[in-house]
Copies of this chain bind each other. A is one copy, B any other.
Amino acid sequence: MYSDSTKKMKTGREAVQKGRPREFDAEMALDKALHVFWERGYEGTSLTDLTEAMGISRPSLYAAFGNKEELFRRALDRYAEKGPGSVHAEALAEPTARKVVEHLLRSVASSVTDPCHPAGCLAVQGALTCSSAADSVKQELTKRRLEGEENLRRRFERAKAEGDLSPQCSPESLACYVITVTQGMSVQASGGASRADLLAVVDLALKAWPV
């Protein structure tokens, strides 16, 4: 999934590599790691879970990805760029605020219930709570969620400037509302909600319009 033409994973490596070549596909291994983190969360995933899913040994994992936390961040980047995280950017490109919201909510409803991958959204499931040892991961996820909300708010501000949104509408509150619904859908999906359930939720959420 999310195939990519990039061959070398490590940053800024020269064209011709010396030494013994890697025997596994780092992109595929990263996808496997993403899948496990997505399902069990950062702390719920053990190194053994990872190496078994990725089909590589511990030293290979550390050589290729640094450590558990760096691997998680790589998985998170991949999720954001090539995975469901990319629906945010797509939605923001819609011509009107209303269409942005429709696109975003429907895409999220579909994505969090997609049987091809674990239920929910990695940014929510990854580490909603954790031990103190994993606080940095939790903060990173919080930051990313806030960034998504900020981007949406800015899109609404633009819409307001364009007359696409009424003057008494608060872009901040509207963005918070929409993101709240998406995060709630992530929890619902992890609890077994179906795609039809969530699409009905989206229809109700959209009844808040016009805002």
Contacts and interface: CB of A to CB of B under 8 A. Distances in A.
A26 interface: no
A125 interface: yes
A contact face: mostly helix, strand, loop, or mixed: helix
A66 interface: no
A29 interface: no
A59 interface: no
Interface residues of A, number: 51
A131 B124 CA distance: 16
Interface in A160-205: 170, 173-174, 176-177, 179-188, 190-193, 197-198, 200-201, 203-205
A187 B46 contact: no
A206 B208 CA distance: 7
A145 interface: yes
Contact of A192 (B44, B131, B142, B197): B142
Interface in A61-116: none
Given A44-B130, A191-B142, A201 B184 contact: no
Contacts of A184: 179-185, 187
A127 B180 CA distance: 19
